[in-house]
Amino acid sequence: MAVAPGSIVSIYGPKLAPATEIGPDSPLAQTVGGLTVTIGERLLPLFFASPGQINPQLPSDLGAGDQTLVVHAEDQPDATGRFTVQRNAPGLFYRQVGSKAYLVALHSDGSLATPKSPARCGERITALGTGLSGSAS
C-alpha cells in the first residue's frame, strides 16, 4: 500500500506514547504527548498521539519511492517504519461504530452523517479522505 505526499497517515504500534493527547488545530504541533515523528531530518506535524496510534501529516513535497519514518518518544527506544510514497494514493476516512465501519461524511449543512442521521437518497454529501493530490468532487 502506498500513500501520497501531504497525506494524513496513521502509525500503529504498542506503547507509542504514554497517554492520549490531541494536538492543537492550528498550527499543528511537531511534538505531541512528548513524542516527535521524523522523515530524515524533517519533523512532521502531528494531529494526535496515543499509546497505540499516532496521526502525522506527510510533507506535500515528499519524493516518490520508499521512505523511512522514525517515532522518537521520551524514555523509549526509537521506532522506525518504512512506507512507499506515490503521487496519487487515495484513501477515505472511516470510523468504527460497534462492529461496523462507516464513511466519515458531512451533510450539506456541515453536520456529520451518522447511523442516526444518515444521508438521504439524492443528498449531496462530502466524504473525507486523503491522498487525492488535488481537488475532487
Q: What is the pLDDT of residue 15?
A: 87
Task: Write out the three cell numbers for 24.
Answer: 492543537
Residue-wise pLDDT tens digits, 77-94:
999 999 999 987 777 888
Yes or no: is domain 2-85 CATH 2.60.40? Answer: yes
User: In whole numbers, what is the pLDDT of the chain averaged over residues?
Assistant: 89
DSSP 25-91: SSSPBS-BTTEEEEETTEEPPEEEE-SSEEEEB--TTPPSEEEEEEEEETTS--EEEEEEE-S---E
Give the pairing type, strands 91-92 and 42-43: unpaired
Q: What is the pLDDT of residue 92?
A: 85
The CA distance from 27 to 31, in Å, is 12
Task: Write out the three cell numbers for 80.
Answer: 522506525
Cα R_g (the chain), whole angstroms: 17
Instruction: Give residue for cell 519524493.
Output: 63
Q: Which residue stretches of the chain have pLDDT < 50?
A: 135-137
Residue-wise pLDDT tens digits, 20-35:
999 998 899 999 989 9
Overall size of the chain counted in residues: 137
Q: What is the pLDDT of residue 68?
A: 96
In the chain, residues under CATH classification 2.60.40 are 2-85
Share of the chain above pLDDT 90, in %: 63
Q: Are 54 and 34 in contact (CB under 8 A)?
A: no
pTM higher than the cut 0.85: no
Q: What is the pLDDT of residue 135?
A: 44
